[in-house]
Amino acid sequence: MAYNDFQHFLDVLAQKGELKRIAEPVSPYLEITEIADRVMKANGPALMFENVVGPPHRLGTPNPQSAVLNQPSIDPASRPIGEKRYGMPVAINTMGSRRRMSLALSCEDFEEHAERLRELLKPEFPKGPIEALKKLPHLLGEVKIVPPKRAKDGICQEVVMQGDDVDLTQLPILTCWPEDGGPFVTLPLVFTHDPSTGKRNVGMYRVQLYDKNTCGMHWQMHKQGMRQMEDAGEAGRRRFEVCVALGGDPVYAFTAISPLPPGIDEMLFAGFLRRENVRLVKAKTVDIMVPADAEIIIEGYVDPAERRLEGPFGDHTGYYSLAGDFPVLHVTCVTMRSKPVYPATIVGVPPMEDGWMGKAVERIFMPLIQLTVPEIVDMNLPVDACFHNVAFVAMKKKFPGHAYKVMNAVWGLGQLSFTKFVFVFDEDCNVQDIGEVLFRIGANCDPARDVLMSRGPVDQLDHASLSEGFGGKMGFDCTHKWPGENGFSRDYPKLIRMSDDVRAKVDAMWDRLGL
């Protein structure tokens, strides 16, 4: 079932007992974060803060030294006093469990989408015309729902504010952590177009509020948005158009973080996931199509030559990402539905809501990984390692040194190239079980023989790396060793297993044992 809009999704969560409404007055300055953080770490429900009240946004000039000295980035004496009542509720943690993440993707469990992709990616041809005719309706059905459609209007433009009417401080944008450089939009869908090809890109990049119509756009060096803006600058353009969408079908947020192959439109992929075309409308002041069902649209442009200090920001690494120079978004228009809900999330020390978003990415894109590296049986990117730091990989080992091929393959796969530690296991290892993983590491890995050191790109937010965006990698061969492998010359022992017939016999008597 595709959702009509974000509020439709919230209604479904409420019907299923997955949404808690909060009537208590709560501030977007730190208080929502503290409440949401406790709920996320306790595997609690989605939250709707219906009475968002607090001090005005604490805006100011970021202090460059704050990133180094870990001091507040805004002088407390300069902060305005008084309370402000925001005109819309805030929804958070809406995808913070396996069930809610699956509901956000319009399915009972997000593994269903992995199976759909696996079916579409099967390389074998039909064995005959009858089988081909049987498969054709299914394949056509999957394809025809995909392309986005243009709509004449949408709820995202029921209210239009341009010029002096633009005032982003009226939105309940969260200041998440005490040392943050200011309020940040944390669940944005950033729409841009390649200046050469016109192809759309939708990414999720945090947006810092500077003042009522100016923001910081956190495009990291490896991200497609940054590439497109730099290409526009090289072409001599001084205005690179941008739209930031908030809300809409929650599947859009997932597609914005998805590691799609080059050339695959995020809105096309969203249509595949929701089994219904995405409806897009033209923005009011820029030449960009945006989701008709969004809650809020922020329109504007970036000058490729302009930079401003952005951050610090309490990030998904569990540490503050340091302040740095990033592009500036100049807002030309804000549109929204007449009674919007502001969607938000927070990141910080895991586990957080983003852990389930990342786990869905891991599971749904396994078929694409296996298409490129078919010997991979399964993969686990642990939430506690922030996904991009550690990968546990199970593989079908076919020849000596095969584990090293898999390590290098992982480091060559899109955003998996950021992985700092890759542990490779035999196919019978359940890499989703951390206890079993630790057992296999201790049992099968000799640090003097089974470790591969490498270097390459890492997440730009990795504060421990050799330099910004570049650092070391380490792979561990935790498989059973074959004769002659890395000088191993002894027989390798067998893993202790009970015989199948005894297991079956005990299974049959188990209920009678009273255990």
Which distant-in-sequence residues (6+ apart) come within 8 Å of 127 by Cβ? none
Residue 128's pLDDT is: 56
Assign 115 a pLDDT band (cuts: 50, 70, 90): very high
pLDDT of residue 76 exceeding 80, the answer is no
Q: What separation in angstroms does the CA of 172 have from each of 139, 216, 300?
A: 44, 17, 20
Assign 236 a pLDDT band (cuts: 50, 70, 90): confident
What is the identity of the amino acid at 339?
A: K
Burial of 383 per CB tally in 10 Å (0-12, 13-18, 19+): middle
Residue 59's pLDDT is: 67
pLDDT for 453-468, tens place per residue? Answer: 998 888 777 788 888 8
CATH fold, domain 6-343, is Pnp Oxidase; Chain A (2.30.110)
Structural class in CATH, domain 373-487: alpha beta
Measure the CA–CA gap between 360 and 315, rounded to whole angstroms: 20
Residue 486's pLDDT is: 72
Which distant-in-sequence residues (6+ apart) come within 8 Å of 69 by Cβ? none
Task: Give percent of the chain with pLDDT exceeding 90.
Answer: 72
CB 190 within 8 A of CB 215: no
For residue 428, how many other CB atoms are within 10 A of its CB?
13
95: three-class secondary structure by DSSP:
coil
Give span(s): CATH 3.40.1670.10, the chain.
373-487
**Which is higher by pLDDT, 118 or 140?**
118
Assign 58 a pLDDT band (cuts: 50, 70, 90): low
Q: DSSP E strands: which ranges in 339-411?
A: 342-343, 376-380, 390-395
Pick the closest to residue 394 from 433, 449, 420 (CA basis): 433
Pick the closest to residue 297 from 89, 154, 157 (CA basis): 157
Residue 468's pLDDT is: 82
pLDDT of residue 159 exceeding 80, the answer is yes
- Active-site residue 315, yes or no? yes
pLDDT for 237-250, tens place per residue? Answer: 889 999 999 999 99
pLDDT of residue 370 exceeding 50, the answer is yes
Pick the closest to residue 360 from 327, 337, 383, 326 (CA basis): 383
224: three-class secondary structure by DSSP:
helix
Lowest mean pLDDT among 58-62, 283-287, 323-327, 372-376: 58-62
Beta bridge partners of 420: none
Residue 200's pLDDT is: 95
Q: What separation in angstroms does the CA of 433 have from each of 12, 115, 425, 440, 487?
A: 32, 22, 12, 11, 30
pLDDT of residue 30 exceeding 60, the answer is yes
User: Is the backbone peptide bond immediately before 126 cis, with ω within 30 degrees of 0?
Assistant: no
Residue 268's pLDDT is: 93
Residue 341's pLDDT is: 98
Measure the CA–CA gap between 1 and 107, rounded to whole angstroms: 7
Average pLDDT of span 391-408:
95
Measure the CA–CA gap between 346 and 352, rounded to whole angstroms: 8
Q: What separation in angstroms does the CA of 513 have from each of 504, 505, 509?
A: 14, 12, 7
What is the overall mean pLDDT for the chain?
89
Query: Among 315, 378, 459, 477, which one carries the catalytic annotation?
Result: 315
pLDDT for 325-369, tens place per residue? Answer: 999 999 999 999 999 999 999 999 999 999 999 999 999 999 999
Return phi, psi of residue 341, to 5°. -115, 135
Give span(s): CATH 2.30.110.10, the chain.
6-343
